[in-house]
Structure 1
Amino acid sequence: MNKIIISKASLQDLATIQQIGRETFLETFAEANTEADMEKYLAENFSDEKMNSELSNPDSQFFIAWDDKIPVGYLKVNSGLAQTELKDPSSLEIERIYVKKAYHGQMVGQILYEKSLEVAQLQKNAYLWLGVWEQNPKAIRFYEKNGFKVFDKHIFKFGEDEQTDIMMKKVL
């Protein structure tokens, strides 16, 4: 593996973000969900229209992790009204840290997390927060290792399935 480089994404990176998003979401969650729910989620959440809207939102930022010319993951952070829930102007939400399975254990997630921390510090945010599926212990351990604490729960509707996300925060 080469050195991982992080670049800020723009509308020109739409196809790359979609490809990483679909691939990593499928790798991570397909086993625990129905094929119908998975297909519906991928079609709706990684559509050209939805991704264009997200990439165009001035309160959302995307960063792509590259191994040479290969995109291996991405980060999406939200501030202000782009946040999925809290909408606290003093916070930054980590909505997604997606890393291709072949790159798990190679510090890509950590590098992307550190980018979110850098963004939060530049914006002078008081804390970072996120939601993580309660049945994703690997991700929960990752965030705990990085100083996040559980502060609430919420329901994440995945097709016909209601799943519980653990909400975590890290005060800066």
Structure 2
Amino acid sequence: MQWRVRQAGVADADLLSLVANATFLDTYAPSLDGADLLAHCLKNNRADAFAVWLADPAIVVTVAEIEPGHAPLGYAVLTRPNFPIALEPTDIELRRIYSLRQAHGTGVGPALMARAIEDAARLGAERLLLGVWEQNARARTFYERHGFRVIGTREFQVGTEVHIDPIYALDLSAMPSPLA
């Protein structure tokens, strides 16, 4: 499978809504209640929510897509952090990073992560934060392999379910410069 990673633009809101819903369901359908999954997707993965993100110059949205044809495989979103921990002015949050199951093992996930790290550094961030479902062992292993470490927890609601998720951080100031 050939694919590419690119920065999303305002015209990609519908595509991002589609891949956001597909990847969320693909990831959590075996583990969470169907009504809670549906409520979460309807609230958080609407095209208009992506349109707001895409219009904000402080937010970076990246999409991975098949070539040729450009069907979406995954995406990532960098935003201002929203965590119940002490935040620094140079923090940025990797709010979302997902890929469809058929993209696992193809390099799409590492490419989305590499791009998120590059974009965070380009925006002047010194620390990249993310939250992950405590029971998502695959994702947690992926983040730890990329150098992220747990620094706290947060409550995360999916429908009516409230989960206590770890918050991870990656120190970008300790990473080698991509220009070196």
TM-score (norm 1): 0.92
Instruction: Give the equivalent residue in structure 1 for 2:42.
Output: 43
Q: Secondary structure at the match of 2:4?
A: strand
1:32 Cα deviation (Å)?
1.3
Q: Cα deviations across residues 48-88 of structure 1 (Å, max 9, x unaligned)? A: 3322222222221101112202221111011xxx3222663
Q: Secondary structure at the match of 1:16?
A: helix
CA root-mean-square deviation: 1.4
What are the residue-to-residue correspondences of 1:13-28 with 2, within 5 Å? 13-28=12-27
Q: Secondary structure at the match of 1:49?
A: helix
**1:171 and 2:160 correspond:** no
Instruction: Give the equivalent residue in structure 2 for 1:6.
Output: 5
Q: Cα deviations across residues 90-120 of structure 1 (Å, max 9, x unaligned)? A: 1121111110111111110100000011112
Equivalenced residue count is: 168
Q: Distance in 1 between matches of 2:47 and 2:148?
A: 33
1:89 Cα deviation (Å)?
2.3
Q: Secondary structure at the match of 1:25?
A: helix
Moved more, 158-167 or 52-61: 52-61
Q: Distance in 1 between matches of 2:105 and 2:92?
A: 25
Q: Secondary structure at the match of 2:65?
A: strand
Moved more, 4-13 or 141-150: 4-13
Q: Does the CA-based 8 Å contact 2:73-2:99 persist in structure 1?
A: yes
Q: Distance in 1 between matches of 2:16 and 2:169?
A: 25
Which runs of 5 or more residues in structure 1 are unaligned?
none
Instruction: Give the equivalent residue in structure 1 for 2:30.
Output: 31
Q: Distance in 1 between matches of 2:48 and 2:66?
A: 28
What amino acid is aligned across from residue 148 of structure 1 in structure 2? F
Instruction: Give the equivalent residue in structure 1 for 2:109.
Output: 109
Q: Distance in 1 between matches of 2:91 and 2:12?
A: 26
Which runs of 5 or more residues in structure 2 are unaligned?
173-180
1:38 Cα deviation (Å)?
0.9
Instruction: Give the equivalent residue in structure 2 for 1:72.
Output: 73
Q: Distance in 2 between matches of 1:89 and 1:5?
A: 32
Give the fraction of aligned pairs with identical amino acids, expressed as a percent. Answer: 29
